[in-house]
Amino acid sequence: MMLPRCAVSVCHVLVLVLCLSAAEDFDWTKNNYGSFYYGTFPAGFSWGAGGSAYQTEGAWDQDGKGLSIWDVFSHRKGKIQQNETGDSSCEGYYKFKDDVSLMKELKLNHYRFSISWPRIIPTGIKSDHVNEKGIQYYDELIDTLMENKITPIVTLYHWDLPQVLQEKYGGWQNISMISHFNEFANLCFEKFGNRVKYWITFNNPWSVVVEGYETGEHAPGLRLKGAGAYRAAHHIIKAHAKVWHTYDTQWRGRQKGFIGISLSGDWGEPVDISNQKDIEAAERYVQFNLGWFATPIFHGDYPQVMKDFVGSKSVQQGLGTSRLPTFSPQEKSYIKGTCDFLGIGHFTTRYITHKNNPSGRSGSSYFADRDLAELVDPRWPDPGSEWLYSVPWGFRRLLNFVKTQYGNPMIYVTENGVSEKMLCTELCDEWRIQYFQDYINEMLKAIRDGVNVKGYTAWSLLDKFEWDEGYSERFGLYYVDFRSKNKPRYPKASVQFYKRIISSNGFPNQREVENWRRKSVETCSSSNQLLAAEEQRSTAANILRLIHDPLTSHMEMVTEIVVPTVCTLCILLSAIFLMFLLRRRN
């Protein structure tokens, strides 16, 4: 959305003015958006990259794996861009040793991945069946990482709920999910906890509940507006706490690990800092997103602003009780403090202004409850996803917000990166280099502010299945050729740049960083030539296959070769005929 002209003029002033929720030791008035800080990260800072099971593994129906809600959802026509699926994706299930070699070459300290619940418990119910082949796969992946001195950071739930649990119970709408998820987590602690020391219960539960149960854009595709997302979130928060306590009481003493949660958090900046309503709206934006899950986990209950706004909207709609569920005193005590570290997934920022949304039953929704509008500055770079603008300074502000709101917890940045949408192949991803350079530098500034950040995870290691966007967006450091059966990987320029940040543990000086950029772009040109040659070979092989294989469908030949050729000839003949007519008329 374009900013109104008056708002744009205000935005010019925003770079010099106070923001909401300021930490006492973070002077927002002196935060120069354009400044770059040369320096290094604390000793022992952990550098990594990540991915998730459904997005990378493929092998969706192999070796005893059960169906997930994403397997089913992606096979429904019209749900995913170009009806693509994660059926094979990066073939990570078969190529994990190759991928660990890429991680070693990149000098990663850690790799963040998720365990597919239906791969090790096909129905999601442990008493039904445990799939030993699934356990063996994760055993081998973890062992390979450890052999290469790469720390595994394991997510237990990255959106791929077993389909049986969705069909039988309604998924996260049902309180029974808490015990089933706890059984799954307990099995993972038992099988892998002797080597895995960092566990994440849920990845970005905001997307799980809002896009899965409010808008229906993601699996399971339900549109339970105004209540479904709140109910699902309530059960997820309880499930997180249950698993934390299970680990704390049964496994921590022996395994000496840590367990946290990864929350998404875009920053919200008030459009007009002289307008108290805009300042409050910007805080609501963050509280209805990050605070929705973080505040119960750190303080025992939902943010007061959520309780107030959802409660008042519910009353206006004639409901007897708030659509936002409540925790009992015992539950508040049980949930509070269930976080050894907080994972932060951050990508972008929005300007926020107050807006009165309708409160009738027809306007009942999570988005209407917030009473705000989101705006973007048209000058912000947006190379890929329509929602992802590069706004580095918002990252530092969000990290300081977390420090202030939640008592400066130990933070691992679990997702940060940028995608591109390109019709042609391009490995010289200078925009991604710029994004990483700027965002990582803002994180370094936040550490200098006193924020307790211990690690950073570039999102993502590989191009992969991007949920409802299919393969139309690419977040990877490594390009994956999805048209090739073997799914080969090719390094983008950002690989070399990120590798140098890791090796230097930061940004030593301006000359060196500029030299990194130049050399990174130079090296990608040869990779581009290699990829182009491979694509030519692949195209030639497909043509030969169509010619020589008598069993190949004639329709394939027609649609892939004959039709485009005939269309091209028709266009050329039409153009010639038109030119002939014009000449005769003249």
Report, as an integer, the average pLDDT of 442-451. Answer: 98
CB 353 within 8 A of CB 371: no
- Report which DSSP code applies to 446: H
Token pair listed for 459: 């999102």
Quick one: pLDDT at residue 22?
A: 37
pLDDT tens for 19-63 read 333 334 566 545 456 699 999 999 999 999 999 999 999 999 999
CB 92 within 8 A of CB 99: yes
**Residue-wise burial string across 377-401, b where 16 or more C-beta atoms lie within 10 A, e elsewhere:** beeeebbbbeebbbbbbbbbbbbbb
Taking the C-alpha atoms of residue 432 and residue 545, their distance in angstroms, rounded to an integer, is 37
Q: Give CA 257 to chain center in angstroms.
A: 24
Helix (H, G, I), strand (E, B) or coil at 408: coil
Quick one: pLDDT at residue 29?
A: 46
Taking the C-alpha atoms of residue 499 and residue 225, their distance in angstroms, rounded to an integer, is 44
CA atoms within 13 A on the CB side of 122: 14
Q: 68 pairs with which residues across the strands?
A: 162
- Report which DSSP code applies to 290: I
Residues 6 or more apart in contact with residue 261 via CB below 8 angstroms = 200, 201, 202, 205, 240, 293, 297, 339, 342, 343
Report which residue type is found at 250.
Q
Peptide bond into 564 cis (omega under 30): no
Helix (H, G, I), strand (E, B) or coil at 486: coil
Q: 420 pairs with which residues across the strands?
A: 474
Taking the C-alpha atoms of residue 563 and residue 91, their distance in angstroms, rounded to an integer, is 32
pLDDT tens for 273-327 read 999 999 999 999 999 999 999 999 999 999 999 999 999 999 999 999 999 999 9
Catalytic residue among 91, 269, 415, 473: 415
Q: What are the phi and psi torsion angles at 89 (to 5°)?
A: 45, -125
User: Is 415 designated active site?
Assistant: yes
Q: How confident is the model at residue 543 (pLDDT cuts 50, 70, 90)?
A: low
Q: What is the CA radius of gyration of the chain?
A: 25
Taking the C-alpha atoms of residue 392 and residue 348, their distance in angstroms, rounded to an integer, is 8
Q: How large a percentage of the chain has pLDDT more than 70?
A: 84
Taking the C-alpha atoms of residue 443 and residue 343, their distance in angstroms, rounded to an integer, is 14
Residues 6 or more apart in contact with residue 38 via CB below 8 angstroms = 507, 508, 509, 510, 513
Peptide bond into 127 cis (omega under 30): no
Q: How large a percentage of the chain has pLDDT more than 90?
A: 78
Residues 6 or more apart in contact with residue 213 via CB below 8 angstroms = 171, 172, 173, 220, 222, 224, 228, 229, 231, 232
Taking the C-alpha atoms of residue 232 and residue 239, their distance in angstroms, rounded to an integer, is 10
Element holding 48 (H helix, E strand)? strand 46-50
Q: How confident is the model at residue 359 (pLDDT cuts 50, 70, 90)?
A: confident
Report, as an integer, the average pLDDT of 137-155. Answer: 98
> Is residue 202 predicted with pLDDT exceeding 70?
yes
For 312, 491, 533, 537, the CA distances from 525, given in Å and listed in that order, are: 58, 11, 13, 19
Q: How confident is the model at residue 547 (pLDDT cuts 50, 70, 90)?
A: low
Element holding 570 (H helix, E strand)? helix 563-585
Handedness of CA 146, 148, 149, 153 (dihedral sign): negative
Element holding 454 (H helix, E strand)? strand 453-458
Q: Give me the count of residues in the chain.
A: 586
CB 310 within 8 A of CB 226: no
Handedness of CA 21, 26, 30, 36 (dihedral sign): negative
Residues 6 or more apart in contact with residue 13 via CB below 8 angstroms = 273
Report, as an integer, the average pLDDT of 425-454. Answer: 94
Strands in 138-253 per DSSP E: 151-157, 198-203
CB 454 within 8 A of CB 412: yes
Q: What is the average pLDDT value for the chain, to the nearest integer?
A: 89
Report, as an integer, the average pLDDT of 55-81. Answer: 98
Which of 214-218, 423-427, 579-583 reaches the highest mean pLDDT? 214-218
CB 495 within 8 A of CB 478: yes
pTM over 0.85: yes
Taking the C-alpha atoms of residue 551 and residue 498, their distance in angstroms, rounded to an integer, is 47
Quick one: pLDDT at residue 533?
A: 62
Token pair listed for 568: 């091209």
For 84, 153, 269, the CA distances from 193, given in Å and listed in that order, are: 35, 11, 41
Token pair listed for 252: 């921590």
